[in-house]
Chain A
């Protein structure tokens, strides 16, 4: 129970979360020339900061309620207005509102912090003052959409703001490389269609789209779902309804895969980055991935029922983690490397959710928070490097920046240590893979674990950890240690102004502090502790999971990542002739990695080319049949009528008189027939 004052404060804080960026968006949009240049971005920063503070306050208020035992399961829902209504029937009404619980609170804090950091950094960037206003508008709109999606109480509202965030992200990144962004937009649109199909299926199946009504809380499925699956004891109906839930889960999963750029859709990450590293990172790591993961976490009870969908999630996550990390190995650009690493880490999160265990869920959520913080900070550092190195982030052309850029150097090292150590999620996920689902109802028969899930997935995950560690440290050594190609130029650059340093210190520090705090607090309270589990609304982590994770310091995941780091150190800091030899020895693999395993080409052949062929076939048919028919048919009809009537035109009066008489008789007959 929460007392009245706390409730009021909580509601105010919840309202302020979207209001901050929304007000910034409105003011920047209507501000015109008064808010050009960095002013608009400062306004966006203030909006983001307000949202961050409100998120923190709301989450703290939620956790410091009167009865701690109950408060963690508290879900606060504020109804804003009826968005859509056909009648007074609840099934035909969609309400807009705000729903806060531990899960949304944690993700909100991480997202708003990253947004604030990137916005502050962008406000200091003096390279393109003309574009700063549109950047401010885009960031504010995207932030408002994202927080509204994270606070959504139902699927429909979530989908609306999910799409709006996607459009804003697309618009923000669409600066100069239309073909890349066009395909990006289309991929999102296609996968969003699946998501919308899933939402419609949910709405049609349960007569409501409310999260709480359908998915309940994180510890138990809702009564509605339980009753639906129970099906009055009819076994055949139970099977059918489980299949419906599995279909819903699959549709939602496709939406998430598209937005988080998971297997097989991560190939575009290797193309030329359409935006600056900071914006690119913000959109990918702090907006799209959290939104997708949030949806999976929110629908956890549904996935717990659809066990096969859960396993598919884990498998796709595992494949992404492995293949994206493999693609990252051959990247020569820091920004692209980070994009692949973010996708690989998101794959890890999917493995955690797909494991279907509470420990996996908690570890995946913690990994998400760390990913948002650490990857955003890495992208910010890449932005700073680009600003100092004439816009390039190609680390084959960089190198030796350690002394020229000491603050980014240590920040980068800290962030990649957090990401690759395996302590903040990966190890726990590895250990959770074999645990049977704790949430599936008794009525649902658990299928036996397939060899793929039982044996292959831990192997894939472990290999990806090794490769991710290697790839990240490779980028690190090549940028900061190997060769002095750019060090002199960067050091001699005259515009090492206070503003640049302030940008790094102010924005990068926010994210890094978050990352470090999450890293320090992680092993102690989160993931493996009672408090974090309760905050996310889950039941206490199983004892087995707790015991396993107590041994995290010696877990093999960390050892693998460390091995990768050491290998990178040996190859790129000590024995610089090794990389070429290794590349020569593994030439086929290098080719595969450089071409992103030809996934784009396969998609092109399987989907795009047939669609284009079908389109051209339709056009040909349109020209051959329909167009000709409409052009010629009326003319031919009249010509035939004319030809048929020709014999009647004899010119004889008696013939016309006979025709008139016949017509009169027919008319009379019709009238008589009508009269009955």
Chain B
């Protein structure tokens, strides 16, 4: 293997991040060549990025957790100093057996902020989700791109890049920057190409995204400062704060001098003072992070912004908003909140799973009253997000892996649903079921909508089922002081039933014969078709539209048929979290619950800390 090829493979995460930015530049450059050139450039870029992502999946090593102590948490990492300067000097140190030894010491000045990207089991499938959804998002844009096409595709590609940045970021500041850029891109897309009444909604969305970013930033900055505060040495020297996610949560890898930055878990476990400090400060980290990420994920009661925004967004933005952007919230919980706050660390944590399921149930009941297929699907997505959050807060391997897989599979299914609804909406002008009649006359659209709904309500054969099965099992098996219980799992099942009912209602409405129009009433789809098509034939989905839907549903089906392939690659969770799983399991004789609080910090690290890490 050539050196260049190896370099390419080693920096794949960065390449996938930067490729859409290059694409955005090329789109801008080709703006004078006409609409077709812009479309081709954007689509080629999207396909190339997807190819690189598939290469990343092939290159990803699911067995890495065992080597974590030396190699670091992330794979295919690229790291650049951004707001930091670093100089090395040789220092002589006394070592117990060897006497004075020369050691290479890094002198850092300025905040330790880096542009750092990498991939681990948590982020891998979210990156695949984002790059895959760009295909239907780009194709759906062909209906909106008559006005300022270069700007449209440029923003879409920037959105893609920033989402990849969110998922692949290994630095807190870079994570926040990408999160905000993603929000801004969406604001621009909806504000420029959205439906009627968008100014109010866009303002609301902008305000919410700004508020959530501020909350998340507050939580993360408190974490950074607290981490530094907990690392004060015996001489009272205050170390430079670190912004690296790996160092903050899991502890850094060993550097050339043999030193290692301990993570929060290590510090709390090893140091009584640090533990007391953490107990005092953790609510101030937990609450902003939880609230910020929950609002980002549109968890009930912070769900109304999503319904309003999604209704007005152009289909391209819709696909990415509900497919990938929404997952950022739950991803943030999995990345920061779950590993830092074990179930017994705060009194509120055992309630989160129940709150999540109740929220999902509420969304399910709301869906029963909807007459708009787009709103119904959006509420279904909110329900799945709630269930995923509940699973993650059950603090066992099954729940956490199931929750992550549920986010990914729901993303694919939702994207397909949004694409089809967008296509129907493009033909009728609205997504109200009352305006779409005789759907059985367009068999392709009806079939695709039916399959997408099946994928959304977790039917076997689609990823949603395998993920829900794991999530519900996680809730079932959660220890009493963790979140779940059989009752919570039953709530999850009831939620799924509500959504199935809601979709059945929608389908019944869609298949109904068109009512005779009253004077002044808006024409139904069939009447529109009669008016616009010379043959009077119903405007069914085209082959290209079906191909786009197939990409999303195919991915959802792949997860459903081979979920093991996906779960094993979230292995950094699963292998270690399983230890916690068995520790929390009521029937495990060698781990009693009474032991857990005394080993609280150890427990907090277990889901993310590999075996042998403590030796470092």
Interface residues of A (CB under 8 A from B): 82-87, 89, 92, 156, 159-161, 163-164, 167, 178-179, 182, 185-186, 189-190, 193, 196-197, 200-201, 203-204, 207, 611-612, 614-616, 618-619, 622, 626-627, 629-631, 634, 674-676
Residue A676 contacts which of B236, B511, B563 (CB distance < 8 angstroms)?
A: B236
**A residues in contact with B581, CB < 8 Å:** 92
Partner of B489, one of A86, A185, A200: A200
Q: Would B504 and A86 count as touching, CB distance under 8 A? A: no
Q: Report yes or no: A84 in contact with B567, Cβ–Cβ below 8 A.
A: yes
A380 to B67 Cα, complex, angstroms: 64
Flag whether B556 is at the interface (Cβ < 8 A).
no
Which B residues, 286 to 314, have Cβ-Cβ distances below 8 Å to chain A? Answer: 301-305
B362 at the interface (CB under 8 A from A): yes
> Can you list 7 residue pairs at the A/B interface with Cβ under 8 Å?
A167-B459, A179-B508, A186-B504, A193-B497, A196-B493, A204-B473, A611-B501
Given contacts A83-B563, A197-B493, contact A203 B473 (CB under 8 A): yes
Closest to B579 in A: A87
* Nearest CB in chain A: distance from B508 CB, A: 5
User: What residues of A have a CB within 8 angstroms of the CB of B461 in the complex?
Assistant: 160, 164
**B residues neighboring A (CB under 8 Å):** 204, 207-208, 211, 225, 229, 232, 236, 238, 301-305, 362, 365-366, 368-369, 397-398, 401, 454, 457, 459-461, 465-466, 469-470, 472-473, 476-477, 486, 489-490, 493-494, 496-498, 500-501, 504-505, 507-508, 511, 562-564, 567-568, 571, 574-575, 578, 581-582, 587
Q: Which residues of B contact A626 (CB under 8 A)?
A: 301, 303-304
Q: How far is the CA of A566 from the CA of B466 in the complex (A)?
A: 55
Asked whether A676 lies within 8 Å of B368 as measured between CB atoms, the reply is no
Closest approach, in angstroms, between the C-beta of A176 and any C-beta of chain B? 9
Does the CB pair A618–B563 fall under 8 Å?
no
Contact B574 A674 (CB under 8 A): no
Question: What's the least CB distance linking A502 to chain B, in Å?
Answer: 31
Query: Chain A residues with Cβ under 8 A from B477's Cβ?
Result: 204
Return the contact of A92 from the options B229, B369, B465, B578 (Cβ within 8 A).
Answer: B578
Residues of A within 8 A of B476 (CB): 200-201, 203-204
Distance in Å: Cβ of B186 to nearest Cβ of chain A: 18
Query: 8 shortest A-B CB distances, which residue pairs?
Result: A615-B368, A160-B460, A193-B493, A615-B365, A618-B365, A182-B504, A86-B574, A619-B369
- Inter-chain CA distance A333–B503, complex, in Å, is 31
- Contact between B207 and A634, CB atoms less than 8 A apart: yes
B254 CB to closest chain A CB (Å) equals 27
Chain A hits for B398, CB < 8 A? 86, 92
A159 to B461, CA, bound (A): 11
Instruction: Report if A674-B489 is in contact (Cβ < 8 Å); known contacts: A87-B575, A167-B454, A185-B504.
Output: no
Q: Which of B469, B493, B568, B587 contacts A85 (CB 8 A)?
A: B568
Docked complex Cα distance between A674 and B567 (Å): 42
Known: A86-B567, A190-B497, A612-B368. A627 touches B304 (CB 8 A): yes
> Closest residue to A161 on the B side, CB-wise?
B460
Q: How far is the CA of A83 from the CA of B504 in the complex (A)?
A: 30
Q: Is the CB–CB distance between B397 and A87 below 8 Å?
A: yes
Q: Is A630 a contact of B305 with CB atoms below 8 Å?
A: yes
Q: A622's contact among B366, B459, B469, by CB below 8 Å, is which?
A: B366
Kindly identify which residue among A82, A87, A164, A200 contacts B472, using a CB–CB cutoff of 8 Å.
A200
Q: Which residues of B contact A89 (CB under 8 A)?
A: 578, 582
Question: Do the beta carbons of A156 and B469 come within 8 Å of each other?
Answer: yes
The answer, among A86, A197, A200, A631, for a CB contact under 8 Å with B401, is A86
In the bound assembly, the distance between CA atoms of A182 and B506 in angstroms comes to: 10
Cβ–Cβ < 8 Å partners of B473 in chain A: 200, 203-204
A674 and B490 contacting across the interface, CB-CB below 8 Å: no
Picked from B469, B470, B574, the residue with its CB within 8 Å of the CB of A87 is: B574
Q: Is the CB of A185 within 8 A of B304?
A: no
Report the minimal beta-carbon distance from A318 to chain B, rounded to whole angstroms. Answer: 29
User: How distant is B222 from chain A, measured CB to nearest CB, in Å?
Assistant: 11
B504 touches A630 (CB 8 A): no
Residues of A within 8 A of B368 (CB): 611-612, 615
Task: Kindly provide the distance from the CB of A382 to the nearest chain B CB, expressed in whole angstroms.
Answer: 26
Known: A84-B466, A84-B563, A615-B366. 12 other contacts (CB 8 A): A160-B461, A160-B465, A182-B508, A186-B504, A197-B486, A200-B476, A618-B362, A626-B304, A630-B204, A674-B225, A675-B238, A676-B236
Shortest beta-carbon distance, B584 to chain A, in Å? 12
Are A618's CB and B238's CB within 8 A? no
Q: A186-B504, A627-B304 are in contact. Are A159 and B460 (CB under 8 A)?
A: yes
Looking at B365, B476, B489, the one whose CB has the most chain A CB atoms below 10 A away is B365
Q: Identify which of B238, B457, B465, B469 gathers the most chain A CB atoms within 10 Å of its CB.
A: B469
Query: How distant is the Cα of A172 from the Cα of B18 in the complex, in angstroms?
Result: 49
* List of B residues within 8 angstroms of A614 by Cβ: 365
Please, which residue of chain A has its CB at the minimum distance from the CB of B582?
A89
Bound form: Cα–Cα A676–B277 in Å: 13
The distance from the CB of B229 to the nearest CB of chain A, in whole angstroms, is 7
Q: Say whether B366 contacts A84, CB under 8 Å.
A: no
A84–B304 CB distance below 8 A: no
Give A558 to B511 CA distance when docked, in angstroms: 49
Considering the complex, give the chain A residue whose CB is closest to the CB of B501.
Answer: A186
A629-B305 Cα distance, complex, nearest whole Å: 11
Among residues of B, the one whose C-beta sits closest to the C-beta of A194 is: B493
Shortest C-beta distance, B347 to chain A (Å), equals 25
CA distance A555 to B461 in the complex (A): 49
Q: Specify which of A86, A203, A616 lies most central, judged by the most chain B CB atoms within 10 Å of its CB.
A: A86
Q: Which of B305, B497, B507 contacts A182 (CB 8 A)?
A: B507
Residues in A whose Cβ lies below 8 Å from that of B236: 676
Residue of A nearest to B228 (CB): A674
Q: Inside 8 A of A674's CB, which chain B residues have their CB? A: 225, 229, 238
CB neighbours (8 Å) of B302 from chain A are 630
In the complex, are the beta carbons of A676 and B465 less than 8 A apart?
Answer: no
CB <8 Å contact, A85 and B369: no
B173–chain A nearest beta-carbon distance, Å: 18
How far, in angstroms, from A562 to B504 measured CA to CA in the complex? 45
A84 to B460, CA, bound (A): 13
- Contact yes or no, A634 B211, CB < 8 A: yes
Q: A295 CA to B500 CA in the complex, in Å?
A: 24
From B304, B362, B578, B587, A630 is in contact (CB under 8 Å) with: B304
Chain B residues within 8 Å of A185, by CB = 500, 504
> In the complex the two chains form, what is the Cα distance from A642 to B303 in whole Å?
27
Q: With a CB–CB cut-off of 8 A, which chain B residues contact A622?
A: 304, 366
Q: Which residues of B contact A676 (CB under 8 A)?
A: 229, 232, 236, 238
A322 to B505, CA, bound (A): 33
Collect the chain B residues with CB atoms within 8 Å of residue A193's CB.
493-494, 496-497
Is the pair A163, B459 in contact by a Cβ cutoff of 8 Å?
yes
Bound-complex Cα distance A14 to B8 (A): 48
Of A156, A178, A186, A616, most B-chain CB atoms within 10 Å:
A178
Which B residue sits closest to A675, measured CB to CB? B238
Chain B: CB-nearest residue to A167:
B459
Question: Measured between alpha carbons, how far is A82 from B401 in the docked complex, in Å?
Answer: 17
Residues of B within 8 A of A634 (CB): 204, 207-208, 211
Interface centre among B301, B369, B460 (most CB of A within 10 A): B460
Question: What residues of B have a CB within 8 angstroms of the CB of A190 in the complex?
Answer: 497
Question: Is there contact, CB below 8 Å, between A82 and B369?
Answer: no
Q: In the complex, what distance in Å separates the CA atom of A611 from the CA atom of B495?
A: 12
Residues of B within 8 A of A163 (CB): 459-460, 465
Measured in the bound complex, the distance between the Cα atoms of B457 and A497 in whole Å is 46
CB-defined contacts of A197 to chain B, threshold 8 Å: 486, 489-490, 493
- A674–B301 CA distance with the chains assembled, in angstroms: 36
Nearest chain B CB to A24's CB is how many angstroms away? 18
Docked CA distance A376–B615 (Å): 69
A residues in contact with B397, CB < 8 Å: 86-87, 92
- Residue among A87, A167, A674 facing the most chain B CB atoms (10 A cut-off): A87
In whole angstroms, what is the CA distance A83 to B368 when docked?
Answer: 34
Give chain B residues whose Cβ lies under 8 Å from the Cβ of A164. Answer: 459-461
Across-interface contacts of B207 in A (CB, < 8 A): 634
Cα-based distance from A629 to B486 in the complex (angstroms) = 33
Instruction: Give every chain A residue within 8 A of B465 (Cβ-Cβ).
Output: 160, 163
